[in-house]
Amino acid sequence: MKYALVTGASRGLGRAIAVRLAQMGYNILINYAGNTAAAEETLRLVREAGTDGELWCFDVADREKATATIQAWQEAHQDNDEYIEVCVNNAGIRRDGVMALMPFEDYTRVIDITLQGFFNVTQPLLPAMQFHKFGRIINMASVSGIKGLPGQTNYSAAKGGIIAATKALAQEVAKKNVTVNALAPGFIKTDMVEGLDEATLKKTIPAGRFGQPEEVAEAVAFLVSPMAGYVTGNVISINGGLYT
């Protein structure tokens, strides 16, 4: 059995990615922050796609819980040599506001979930990926992490940081056939963009529309596939031509 961990998989992009990976034959470890009903719906869709999964409720920024959950899974699976070969670091939040008025907690929370979350979840998976000489790590960045967007110093810092970490880690593990890439979506229709002025924003996007979660999930499917083994340390933009 092949296993993939998707953080923030209860809704939005994470759910679409979980379902797409299930279609590729992966059992999915469905991480989420607290929305169990939504996570259960993801699990239902994963099963509908023909595999199975587990619900992993923990805050990715909580180092103790993240590592304890992953280590317990690894101990339970060590006998039959199973390991988590795909890790999609997708969990993320947005707490927008101009920096002059931004509460410190809004600044640190967004960065912690993205950057500490990446470390907490990815580090325990690296030894097995390297030992088995196959691994795929995909980090969810954003157009904000490339361009920097006003009102998002916290989010831009987090996403810019994850892009740099992607490039660094890619070079550390490339010889072991472990690839590390980032995706940089523009505006994708999920709960995260609720409340944005879609009609106005659409006019700034050459494609004239917001993207669908499945269009991001398809890029994950490509990066995970064996023939993408020579693609590493990259950032793929999925933004309808909203170039940075």
With CB under 6 A as the contact rule, which of the stretches 56-64, 77-85, 95-103, 173-181 interacts with ligand NAP? 56-64
Q: Which of 3, 20, 26, 32 binds ligand NAP (CB under 6 A)?
A: 32
User: Counting beta carbons within 10 angstroms of the beta carbon of residue 228, is it exposed (0 to 12), middle (13 to 18) or buried (19 or more)?
Assistant: middle
Identify which range of 19-27, 33-41, 120-128, 220-228 contacts ligand NAP by CB under 6 A: 33-41
Q: Of the two residues 172 and 191, which places its CB atom closer to ligand NAP in the complex?
A: 191
Q: How far is the CB of 69 from ligand NAP (least distance, A)?
A: 11
State yes or no: is 230 an active-site residue: no
Nearest alpha-carbon partner for 43 in 14, 66, 69, 67:
14
- Tell me the chain's radius of gyration from C-alpha atoms: 17
Which residue from 231, 229, 239, 20 is spatially nearest to 129, judged by alpha carbons? 229
Minimum CB distance to ligand NAP, residue 57 (Å)? 7
**Strands, E assignment, 58-164:** 84-89, 135-140
> Rounded distance, CA 105 to CA 89, Å?
22
- How many residues in the shown chain lie near ligand NAP by CB under 6 A? 31
Q: Pick from 187, 191, 221: which is nearest to 202 by CA?
A: 187
Smallest gap from Cβ 46 to ligand NAP, in A, equals: 14
> Mutual orientation of helices 213-224 and 12-23 as an angle, nearest 10°?
40
Give me the 91-130 binding string for ligand NAP, x by CB under 6 A, dash otherwise. Answer: xxx-------------------x-----------------
Nearest distance from C-beta of residue 2 to ligand NAP, angstroms? 22
Residue 17 as a binder of ligand NAP (CB under 6 A): the answer is no
Number of neighbouring beta carbons within 10 Å of residue 205: 16
Identified catalytic residue from 83, 155, 230, 243: 155
Interface ranges with ligand NAP (CB under 6 A):
7-14, 31-35, 38, 59-61, 90-93, 113, 140, 142, 185, 187-188, 190-193
